[in-house]
Structure 1
Amino acid sequence: MTDDLKEKLRSIIADVAELDEVPDETPFKDLGIDSMMAIEIVSDVERQFKLTIPEDELADLVNLEAVYQKVKAKLGG
């Protein structure tokens, strides 16, 4: 499930940001992902995985690895 989860998240981020690659540790800002795209990514992640990420936790989601760790924790992993 772990690798599958990360790949699903990578796909969501790549689709929203129209990117071919989303490295695990590269900051979203360095990938050209702005705040509006970040909101769309979080919304898509919440919908796909049926979870809620509180607004005060959004600033922590700086790259794919951070999103992965947050979603994994929320899913009980």
Structure 2
Amino acid sequence: MTTQEDSATTGLEMEDLRRTIAHVLDVDVEELTDDAAFVADLGIDSLLALEVVVVLEKKYGLRLEERDFPLITSLRTAHELLRGKLGPA
């Protein structure tokens, strides 16, 4: 299943997620590749990582567990986690 097909079934679009996270991290959308590691590649700190979590919770209307926070290490892992939480539309 492609990312586009995934977004059609969950309402979670990768490019929209990319724009949202890039805005929070204050990086160019082009800089936020699917696998760019937030900490190692983009140099974000724990406070900014927490801000990403808060924005994602508000945007998608869900509550992430504290145990989920370490799983959000890149755009791809954030997308996979949210897709699992949101389930089929």
Same-fold call, TM cutoff 0.5: yes
Which residue of 2 is the match for residue 59 of structure 1? 70
- Structure 1 moving runs of 4+ over 3 Å: none
Higher Rg of the two aligned structures: 2
Alpha-carbon distance, 1:8 to partner: 1.7
Structure 2: runs of 5+ lacking an equivalent: 1-5
1:33-76 Cα deviation digits (max 9, x unpaired): 21111111110010000011100111111100000000011110
Structure 1: runs of 5+ lacking an equivalent: none
TM-score normalised by length of structure 1: 0.89
Identity %: 34
Which residue of 2 is the match for residue 27 of structure 1? 37
Q: Which moved more, 1:3-12 or 1:25-34?
A: 3-12
RMSD after superposition = 1.6
1:10-35 Cα deviation digits (max 9, x unpaired): 11211111111211011101112211
Which residue of 2 is the match for residue 5 of structure 1? 13
Task: Give the number of equivalent residue pairs.
Answer: 77
